[in-house]
C-alpha cells in the first residue's frame, strides 16, 4: 500500500488516450466558481490566495491567471501547449481538461511530483456568461449583493503599507463593505470582532472609508448601492530572518479558511527539505527516519498534504495504527474524503 502511494509521487500521467478538444473554445476569460480536491474533498490550497474566484485568461500564445478582471499587461504569460485534453505548462505541472463547452470548463491541476489525491479540481464559467447571469438576477434592484463576477474590484492595493508596522498585532475579522455609488462613499460593517482590537477595527474602517477612488466600478456603475462580503486577516511573516506585519483581504467571501496566508520563507524551504529527506529515507528502507521527516515537513507547512498522507501510511505499515488514525482524523477536519475512507477502513476509534 505504501509503495503504491509513494509511487504516485513520481508517476507521470499518460495523456495519450484523452479525447481531442476544440482549443478555440478555451480562449478568453474564465472565472473559478468552485474548487475541490480530485476526490471531491474540500479544497485545501497549497498556495497563498486571498481570492478563490481566480480569473483564467487563455489565448493562442499563452495564458495567465489573475485575481480580478484587470488589464492583462501587468501579468506574466505562461506558455501554452495543448495536446489532446491536456494544457501543458512545464515538465511537471499541467492541467487536464475534464470538460469544455462554450460556457463551462473543468480543470484538474496536475503535478507529477504529488499524490493524485492532492490535485485540485477547478470549476470555471466563462466570465461574461457569469456576469450576464448575475445581471439578469439583479435586473430590477438598485442594491446589489455582489458576486465574484458582478462586483467592484480594487484597481491596486487598498492598504499599501498601512498594516506593515511591526507593532500591528495579528487579527482576523469579517463583515461587509457598503458602496454608495451616488455619494462615492464606503461604509464598513464588521460582523465578527472577536479577534481584532479596537485600534485595528478603526484603522481598517478608516482605510476603506477613504479608498473609494482606488476601486473600479465599470462592471457595476449602473447601480446605486452594493453590499460586498469580505474577510480580513492581519498576520506576521518572516522573510530572510526579518519579521513583517501584513494584511490579506478577500472580497466576495465570508469564511476565514477561504484565505491561505503566505508562509515564512524559512518554513517553506525547511518543509521541502524535510520532505526530500523523508523520501530518501524511505528509498533506503529507513522507515523511522522517513516518518520523522514527513512529520517535520507538515509541521513546517500544514498545507503539504503529501507529507500528511505519507506519514499516516508509514505509521500504519509500522504497526502504529493509533498515530495513523490520529493523522487521518486531523485530515478529516480539513474535509479530506480519502482520510475518512482510511479512518473507517482501518476501524479507527473516534
The boundaries of the domain holding residue 254 are 138-258
Q: Classify residue 116 by its DSSP letter.
A: G
Position 320 in a domain: yes
Which whole number is the average pLDDT over 20-31?
85
Indicate the number of domains in the chain: 3
Look at residues 130, 162, 182 and tell me which one is the last residue of a structural domain: 130
Give the residue from 108, 124, 126, 111 showing the smallest Cα distance to 18.
108
- Residues 254 and 269 both lie in one domain: no
- Residues 117 and 205 both lie in one domain: no
> Could you give the CA distance from residue 279 to residue 274 in angstroms, rounded to a whole number?
9
Give the residue from 54, 147, 121, 132 showing the smallest Cα distance to 63.
54
pLDDT greater than 60 at residue 3: no
- Residues 119 and 164 both lie in one domain: no
Q: 86-114 pLDDT, tens per residue?
A: 888 766 678 999 999 999 999 999 988 88
Q: What is the DSSP string of 272-323?
A: HHHHHHHHHHHHTT-HHHHHHHHHHHHHH-TT-HHHHHHHHHHHHHTT-HHH
Question: For residue 165, how many other CB atoms are within 10 A of its CB?
Answer: 10
Confidence (pLDDT) at 91 = 66
CATH number of the domain enclosing 335? 1.25.40.10
Q: 143-199 pLDDT, tens per residue?
A: 788 999 999 999 877 887 788 876 778 999 999 999 999 999 999 999 999 999 999
Q: Classify residue 56 by its DSSP letter.
A: E
Look at residues 258, 288, 311 and tell me which one is the last residue of a structural domain: 258
Confidence (pLDDT) at 75 = 52
- Residues 88 and 149 both lie in one domain: no
- Residues 243 and 170 both lie in one domain: yes
User: What percent of the chain is modeled with pLDDT above 70?
Assistant: 90
Confidence (pLDDT) at 140 = 76
Q: Is 241 in contact with 191 (CB distance < 8 Å)?
A: no
Position 269 in a domain: yes
Position 2 in a domain: no
- Residues 269 and 245 both lie in one domain: no
Q: What would the 3-class secondary structure string for 140-185 be? A: CCCEEECCCCCCCEECCCCCCCCCCCCCCCCEEEEEEEEEECCCCE
Position 1 in a domain: no
Q: 138-147 pLDDT, tens per residue?
A: 777 777 889 9
Question: For residue 343, how many other CB atoms are within 10 A of its CB?
Answer: 22
φ, ψ for residue 25, nearest 5 deg: -65, -20
pLDDT greater than 50 at residue 15: no
- Residues 186 and 202 both lie in one domain: yes
- Residues 144 and 244 both lie in one domain: yes
pLDDT greater than 80 at residue 61: no
Confidence (pLDDT) at 9 = 38
Question: For residue 83, how many other CB atoms are within 10 A of its CB?
Answer: 12
- Residues 218 and 239 both lie in one domain: yes
Angle in degrees, 0-180, between the axes of helices 287-300 and 265-283, rounded to the nearest 10: 160
- Residues 271 and 246 both lie in one domain: no
Confidence (pLDDT) at 268 = 84
pLDDT greater than 90 at residue 256: yes
Q: Is 343 in contact with 332 (CB distance < 8 Å)?
A: yes
> Could you give the CA distance from residue 85 to residue 15 in angstroms, rounded to a whole number?
8
pLDDT band, residue 208 (cuts 50/70/90) = very high
Confidence (pLDDT) at 41 = 93
Confidence (pLDDT) at 166 = 64
Position 109 in a domain: yes
Q: How far is it between the farthest Cα atoms of the chain?
A: 69
Q: What is the DSSP string of 20-34?
A: P--GGGG-EEEEEEE
Question: For residue 189, how many other CB atoms are within 10 A of its CB?
Answer: 11
Angle at 70 between CA 66 and CA 76, to 5 degrees: 50
Amino acid at each position: 500500500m505504501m509503495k503504491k502511494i509513494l509511487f504516485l509521487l513520481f508517476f507521470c500521467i499518460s495523456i495519450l488516450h484523452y479525447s481531442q478538444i476544440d482549443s478555440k473554445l478555451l480562449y478568453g476569460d474564465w472565472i473559478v466558481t468552485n474548487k475541490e480536491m480530485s476526490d471531491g474533498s474540500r479544497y485545501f490550497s497549497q498556495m497563498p490566495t486571498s481570492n478563490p474566484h481566480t480569473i483564467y485568461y487563455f489565448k493562442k500564445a499563452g495564458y495567465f491567471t489573475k485575481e480580478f478582471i484587470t488589464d492583462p499587461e501587468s501579468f506574466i504569460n505562461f506558455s501554452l501547449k495543448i495536446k489532446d485534453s491536456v494544457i501543458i505548462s512545464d515538465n511537471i505541472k499541467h492541467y487536464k481538461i475534464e470538460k469544455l463547452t462554450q460556457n463551462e470548463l473543468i480543470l484538474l491541476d496536475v503535478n507529477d511530483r504529488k499524490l493524485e489525491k492532492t490535485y485540485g479540481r477547478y470549476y470555471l464559467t466563462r466570465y461574461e456568461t457569469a456576469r450576464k447571469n448575475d445581471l439578469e438576477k439583479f435586473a430590477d434592484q438598485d442594491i446589489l449583493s455582489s458576486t465574484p463576477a458582478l462586483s467592484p474590484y480594487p484597481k491596486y492595493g487598498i492598504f499599501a503599507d498601512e498594516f506593515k508596522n511591526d507593532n500591528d498585532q495579528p487579527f482576523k475579522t469579517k463583515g461587509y463593505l457598503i458602496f454608495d455609488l451616488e455619494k462615492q462613499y464606503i461604509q464598513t460593517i464588521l460582523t465578527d470582532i472577536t479577534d481584532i482590537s479596537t485600534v485595528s477595527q478603526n484603522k481598517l474602517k478608516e482605510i476603506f472609508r477613504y479608498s473609494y477612488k482606488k476601486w473600479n466600478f465599470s462592471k457595476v456603475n449602473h447601480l446605486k448601492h452594493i453590499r460586498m462580503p469580505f474577510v480580513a486577516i492581519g498576520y506576521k511573516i518572516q522573510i530572510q530572518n526579518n519579521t513583517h506585519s501584513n494584511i490579506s483581504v478577500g472580497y466576495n467571501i465570508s469564511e476565514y479558511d477561504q484565505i491561505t496566508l503566505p508562509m515564512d520563507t524559512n518554513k517553506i524551504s525547511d518543509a521541502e527539505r524535510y520532505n526530500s529527506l523523508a523520501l530518501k529515507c524511505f528509498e533506503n528502507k529507513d522507515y523511522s527516519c522517513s516518518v520523522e521527516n514527513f512529520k517535520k515537513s507538515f509541521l513546517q507547512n500544514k498545507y503539504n498534504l503529501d507529507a500528511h498522507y505519507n506519514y499516516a501510511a508509514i505509521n500504519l505499515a509500522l504497526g502504529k495504527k493509533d498515530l495513523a488514525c490520529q493523522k487521518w482524523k486531523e485530515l478529516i477536519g480539513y474535509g479530506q474524503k480519502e482520510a475518512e475512507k482510511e479512518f473507517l477502513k482501518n476501524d479507527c476509534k473516534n
